[in-house]
């Protein structure tokens, strides 16, 4: 197989690492890629949302198939253009990508197909927003309809704060088009969990469960980010709970897509809230692997990722299987000072090679580039994900933090409590 990978973050670095391990993969290309991905294949400075440029690159490289990493190319319809040219794509077309591209579409989809989620209202102006908020009690939940890089969900504690958020989005255009429509929904108590699943449009198979840490600071304080760390599998996600998720959420989702004429091939990301009675409700859908969840899930995944991609693209996912992972992975994101707000770039990164000498340690690059002298420097808010892999949560966590402490760049910071609450399910203790 010759595979073209779209994207250039730590998630895509993890995908490249997983694909490179497969004996099926003859060559790997990436657009645009990053210095870490370049260890596994040639990177091309091409916009992954430019359908024509991507198709030209497929033809130039002789790639057999395309794997989409981030959501933006999928929402832009790149997969549709490629499929029209008979290029297999691991990732849904524009219609399927609406599950992530529009929170309003996703909520209405769940309502149509009886998939459990929080009661909601969709609002377009301040009058509607105030009416939707006043019939609820705090904490309030306000979500921007469109893509917002993980920063479009708000949980204000007071009505005044909630109205101010709505005003900033609807009137001031803080998130531009993404915030012109809002979803106001009931707050759901419980504990969040991420379930990633692969589907070929009929069969849907779960990957190891995971849990990410969205807030910037320890103790889940501060603003939301794209994710500051994750671990997998979740100790309390037992077979009974995973079976409920399969039957109540994943299978109805795939049936619903099929019934609406949406041919979905790729990953369904179900962000779920689990309450003390083990009820499962969908907080959000994504249509690709999560970041940083992908970094830990693929590190612990016991199967051949290229085989999974190939089977999904060929509509024969029912013919392959993989065992439950026996490994645990903990991933810690190293970020630039100031993130998720303003931050400086161009600081030299040291210590990656030393960190990777430890067995069971992987370092995935995100906001990195090579400067004019060939030195690796920072170029984004989330710079690296350091993953520790072990036979237990404690062992994996120790490896991740031990490796993270060996890496340095100006103003580097990371959370120190990733996976610290792993054995605290909503119904008590593990």
The boundaries of the domain holding residue 342 are: 191-404
Q: What is the CATH number of the domain that holds 222?
A: 3.30.470.20
Q: Tens digits of per-residue pLDDT, 381-400? A: 999 999 999 999 999 999 99
Q: Residue 224: is its pLDDT beyond 90?
A: no
Q: Tens digits of per-residue pLDDT, 395-425? A: 999 999 999 999 999 999 999 999 999 988 8
360 belongs to a structural domain? yes
C-alpha closest to that of 32 among 429, 369, 387:
369
pLDDT of residue 429: 66
258 belongs to a structural domain? yes
Residue range 202-213: mean pLDDT, rounded: 98
Q: Tens digits of per-residue pLDDT, 62-80? A: 999 999 999 999 999 999 9
Distance CA 202, CA 111 (A): 21
Tell the residue number behind the tokens 């704060």, with chain if given: 161
C-alpha closest to that of 47 among 11, 13, 14, 72:
72
Please tell me whether residues 228 and 326 are part of one structural domain: yes
Question: Between vectors from CA 7 to CA 359 and to CA 63, what angle results, nearest 5°?
Answer: 95
Domain count, the chain: 3
Please tell me whether residues 335 and 198 are part of one structural domain: yes
Please tell me whether residues 311 and 358 are part of one structural domain: yes
Select from 185, 216, 240 the last residue of a domain: 185
pTM greater than 0.75 (yes/no)? yes
Cis peptide before 150 (omega within 30 of 0): no
H-helix segments, 35-182:
51-61, 72-75, 78-84, 94-101, 103-112, 126-134, 159-170
Beta strands of 251-381 (E only): which ranges?
Answer: 266-274, 280-286, 328-335, 361-365, 368-370, 376-378
109 belongs to a structural domain? no
With bands split at pLDDT 50, 70 and 90, how would you rate the model's confidence at 430?
low
């Amino acid at each position: 197989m010759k595979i073209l990978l779209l994207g250039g973050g730590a998630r895509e670095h993890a995908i490249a690492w997983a694909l490179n391990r497969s004996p099926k993969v003859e060559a790997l290309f990436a657009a645009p890629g990053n210095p870490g991905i370049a260890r596994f294949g040639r990177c091309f400075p091409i916009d992954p949302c430019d359908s024509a440029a991507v198709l030209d690159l497929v033809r130039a490289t002789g790639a057999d198939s395309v794997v989409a990493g981030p959501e933006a190319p999928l929402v832009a319809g790149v997969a549709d253009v490629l499929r029209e040219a008979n290029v297999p794509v691991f990732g849904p077309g524009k219609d399927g990508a609406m599950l992530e591209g529009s929170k309003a579409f996703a909520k209405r989809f769940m309502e149509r197909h009886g998939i459990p989620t929080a009661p909601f209202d969709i609002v377009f102006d301040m009058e509607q927003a105030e009416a939707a908020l006043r019939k609820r009690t705090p904490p309030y939940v306000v979500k921007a309809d469109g893509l917002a890089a993980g920063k479009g969900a708000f949980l204000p504690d007071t009505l005044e704060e909630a109205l101010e958020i709505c005003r900033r989005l609807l009137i001031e255009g803080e998130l531009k088009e993404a915030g012109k429509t809002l979803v106001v929904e009931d707050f759901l108590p419980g504990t969040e969990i991420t379930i990633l699943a692969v589907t070929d449009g009929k069969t849907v198979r779960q990957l190891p469960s995971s849990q990410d840490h969205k807030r910037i600071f320890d103790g889940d304080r501060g603003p939301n980010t794209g994710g500051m760390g994750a671990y997998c599998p979740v100790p309390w996600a037992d077979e009974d709970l995973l079976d409920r998720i399969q039957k109540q959420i994943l299978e109805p989702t795939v049936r619903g897509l099929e019934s609406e004429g949406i041919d979905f091939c790729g990953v369904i990301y179900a962000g779920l809230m689990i309450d003390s009675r083990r009820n499962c409700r969908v907080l959000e859908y994504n249509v690709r692997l999560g970041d940083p969840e992908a970094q830990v899930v693929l590190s612990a995944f016991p199967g051949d990722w290229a085989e999974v991609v190939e089977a999904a693209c060929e509509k024969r996912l029912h013919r392959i299987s993989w065992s439950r992972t026996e490994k645990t992975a903990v991933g810690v994101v190293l970020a630039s000072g100031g993130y998720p707000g303003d931050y400086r770039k161009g600081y030299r990164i040291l210590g990656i090679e030393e960190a990777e000498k430890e067995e069971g340690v992987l370092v995935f690059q995100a906001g990195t580039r090579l400067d004019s002298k060939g030195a690796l420097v920072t170029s984004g808010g989330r710079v690296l994900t350091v993953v520790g892999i072990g036979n237990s949560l404690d062992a994996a966590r120790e490896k991740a933090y031990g490796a993270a402490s060996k890496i340095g760049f100006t103003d580097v910071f990371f959370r120190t409590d990733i996976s610290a609450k792993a054995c605290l399910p909503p119904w008590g203790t593990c």
